[in-house]
Amino acid sequence: MFGNVASSLLGGGNKSDLKISADKVDTVLSSSSSTSSISVSAWNEIGKTLESLQTTDEEKEFRSNLKGGYGLEGSPLHTVRLYDADQPKTTNDAIRVVFYRDHASWCPYCQKVWITLEAKKIPYKVVKINMRCYGDKPASFFKLQPNGAIPVAIIDDQVYNQSNDILQILERKFTPEMPDGSNHMALSPPPTNTILQNQAQQLYQLERELFSAWMGWLTAGYGKQNFVDILRTVDDVLQRADGPFFLGSHGLSLVDIQFAPFLERMVASLLYFKGYKIRTASKERVTTADSYPGINAWFDAMEELPAYQVTKSDYYTHVWDLPPQLGGCRTDTSNKDIAASEIQIIQDKINGEHSSSDGTSSWDLPLQPDNDGLEPDWTFLTVTGNDEAAARREAVERISFNHEAIVKFACRGAGSKGFPNFGAPLSDPNAVPNEIYRNSVDACLKVVCSAMLASQQSKKDTTKKGEGGDDNDEQQQCTMLMDSLAKMIVTEGGPNFANGVIESLSYLRDRIGVPRDMRLPAARQLRAYLNWSIRFIRDASP
Ligand SMILES: N[C@@H](CCC(=O)N[C@@H](CS)C(=O)NCC(=O)O)C(=O)O
């Protein structure tokens, strides 16, 4: 999918012809506000509408919290984290930890450290480093970590470059009731509790056994029974525990944090590559020989924790980030347990591809809840009231705040591939954007953002949710605007130019990363609204 998009050069047309096309389109766009039906809102107007619709303090204060390092909820965009603005102790001076983690939020070992810092509310600074498959690392990083691996942490001026060492030292140095008045949750059983300590040690071993079995099945294509046997043991441990977490009534511990990044990746990758389902929605949960009630209850409890929520990725991101890290994952095509066609349907749904069986796409409006039951693990964001509107606002905020860079990034889709290239299909840091599409892509993104906000601006009937039902006035205006814009791009620019705009919007859609760019409900909305705009241009094309 990405190969087709990224490798196309200049939308298939002659370079100077396309420049002439772009000039014609740009002329209409620059005169549009007063004279034609293509009156696209400016970014600052979109920003104002967004502000008027924001409801929670967390939303309204998102950017100021990022700057100050504050917020009840962390964000992958935080580069400094101080937690509570009302706590006088949490100033920059309190920072004793510098955390080097991967830029794309793909690395499971970084995720362990990230969850620990957030759960213990330890103030920290973040330095983002590329993974090898994603881009280059700065030379200075190799001084801290000669083999280039992440995570690394500098704690009280001492460098630690193994995730488990980092967890242990954080646990030792940041404790409940510190002399300076700060209070950091204990995540290990007390040394006096040897029973629980031994149990934790055994569970660390079990986690590595599960990891090896998963790697075997995922990358070599055999070893399912071995994996299932160990996963069953993990589920039994959780079912026997007197609470949802591994150490039962002790509550959240480093054992849970060791398991979390890998169980999260197992759920996504085994569903996609093997058609093997571990995670189920609570309403569908029945105890059968194939179900994992302990693991599902554990996930439910983990997903209630802001410290885990901020790090949580989606299936799409995982199934594209794991193969380049692991040197490939194998899809089981001849499998007695599930037909290849069923695996294909799952893959199409996760990728937002149009299904060969019924032509639908999971990345089209109206969105099906939990991706038609396939990805039921974002209940923490989707149970409350007007959740779809909140997700759209999140997407609009992220796009509108950084629109210039995002438009330029999207234009890589109609540009040329970079050299040298890197292993991850989602990454091409040296790609050259084709900026003749800049104004058209910018206009489409503005209409996409207006349309996402319009669903909340119903004048006629506040109970209507938008897509799937009758549209409100603003939605109808956005639909007409996108229709006019698409027709103008095709008539003034010609089909090759229009194709370049589609390639740019598609490139952006396919590279929305969770949690790096936004949370899954917001990412799903944005992917679907980008497809909405693409469809108008396609429909207007000959
Ligand atoms: N044992 C190390 C493993 C860390 C590790 O394998 N990190 C991977 C990323 S998940 C890495 O940095 N690989 C090199 C790269 O991708 O640049 C730890 O626990 O910290």
Residue 396 sits in the same domain as residue 482: yes
Residue 34 sits in the same domain as residue 141: no
Quote the ligand 1 centre to 221 CA distance (angstroms): 23
**Any atom of ligand 1 within 6 Å of the Cβ of 168:** no
Residue that finishes a domain, picked among 109, 143, 173: 173
Whole-number Å distance between alpha carbons of 257 and 250: 14
**Any atom of ligand 1 within 6 Å of the Cβ of 152:** no
Chain-centre distance of CA 387, in angstroms? 17
pLDDT at 530 over 50: yes
Which residues, including other chains, have CB under 8 Å from residue 426's CB and lie 6 or more apart? 2, 104, 320, 321, 510, 511, 513
Residue 300 sits in the same domain as residue 446: no
CATH number at residue 324: 1.20.1050.10
Instruction: Return the SS3 of 463.
Output: coil
**Any atom of ligand 1 within 6 Å of the Cβ of 335:** no
Quote the ligand 1 centre to 146 CA distance (angstroms): 12
Domain coverage including residue 391: 2-55+386-540
Residue that finishes a domain, picked among 351, 376, 395: 351
Quote the ligand 1 centre to 483 CA distance (angstroms): 47
**Any atom of ligand 1 within 6 Å of the Cβ of 322:** no
pLDDT at 458 over 50: yes
DSSP designation for 432: B
* Pairing relationship of beta strands 124-129 and 80-81 according to DSSP bridges: antiparallel
Residue 37 sits in the same domain as residue 100: no
pLDDT at 281 over 70: yes
Quote the ligand 1 centre to 151 CA distance (angstroms): 7
**Any atom of ligand 1 within 6 Å of the Cβ of 148:** yes
In a domain, 184, yes or no: no
Residue 207 sits in the same domain as residue 295: yes
Closest C-alpha to ligand 1, atom 2: 162
Residue 22 sits in the same domain as residue 92: no
pLDDT of residue 289: 67
CATH number at residue 422: 1.10.490.20
Q: Which contacts of 336-339 are long-range, i.e. CB under 8 A and separated by 24 or more positions? A: 337/224, 337/275, 337/276, 338/274, 338/275, 338/276
Whole-number Å distance between alpha carbons of 281 and 374: 9
Q: How many domains does the chain have?
A: 3
Which residues, including other chains, have CB under 8 Å from residue 120's CB and lie 6 or more apart? 170, 171, 174, 184, 185, 187
Instruction: Return the SS3 of 153.
Output: strand
Averaged pLDDT for residues 290-304? 94
Residue 315 sits in the same domain as residue 223: yes
Closest C-alpha to ligand 1, atom 1: 162
In a domain, 375, yes or no: no
In a domain, 435, yes or no: yes
In a domain, 361, yes or no: no
In a domain, 187, yes or no: no
pLDDT at 209 over 80: yes
Check residue 385 and give left, alpha or beta (phi > 0: left; psi -120 to 50: alpha). Answer: left
In a domain, 188, yes or no: no
Residue 412 sits in the same domain as residue 450: yes
Residue 49 sits in the same domain as residue 77: no
* Pairing relationship of beta strands 124-129 and 97-102 according to DSSP bridges: parallel
- The token duo for 120 is 């213990």
Atom of ligand 1 nearest to the CA of 166: 20
Q: Over the stretch 64-118, which tens digit does the pLDDT of each residue have? A: 999 999 998 899 999 999 998 776 556 667 799 999 999 999 999 999 999 999 9
Going by C-alpha positions, the residue among 508, 489, 513, 510 that lies closest to residue 499 is 489
Residue 169 sits in the same domain as residue 87: yes
pLDDT at 510 over 50: yes
Q: Over the stretch 395-428, which tens digit does the pLDDT of each residue have? A: 999 999 999 999 999 999 999 998 888 889 889 9
Q: Over the stretch 198-208, which tens digit does the pLDDT of each residue have? A: 999 999 999 99
Closest C-alpha to ligand 1, atom 13: 149
Residue 526 sits in the same domain as residue 445: yes
CATH number at residue 139: 3.40.30.10
pLDDT at 518 over 60: yes
Question: pTM, whole model, 2 decimals?
Answer: 0.93
Residue 296 sits in the same domain as residue 431: no
Beta bridge partners of 101: 128
Averaged pLDDT for residues 188-212? 96
Whole-number Å distance between alpha carbons of 405 and 210: 41
Quote the ligand 1 centre to 79 CA distance (angstroms): 21
In a domain, 368, yes or no: no
Q: Over the stretch 167-188, which tens digit does the pLDDT of each residue have? A: 999 999 999 999 988 899 999 9
Quote the ligand 1 centre to 208 CA distance (angstroms): 15
In a domain, 317, yes or no: yes
Residue that finishes a domain, picked among 331, 351, 371: 351
The proportion of the chain whose per-residue pLDDT surpasses 90, expressed as a percent, equals 76
Cis amide prior to 376 (ω within 30 degrees): no
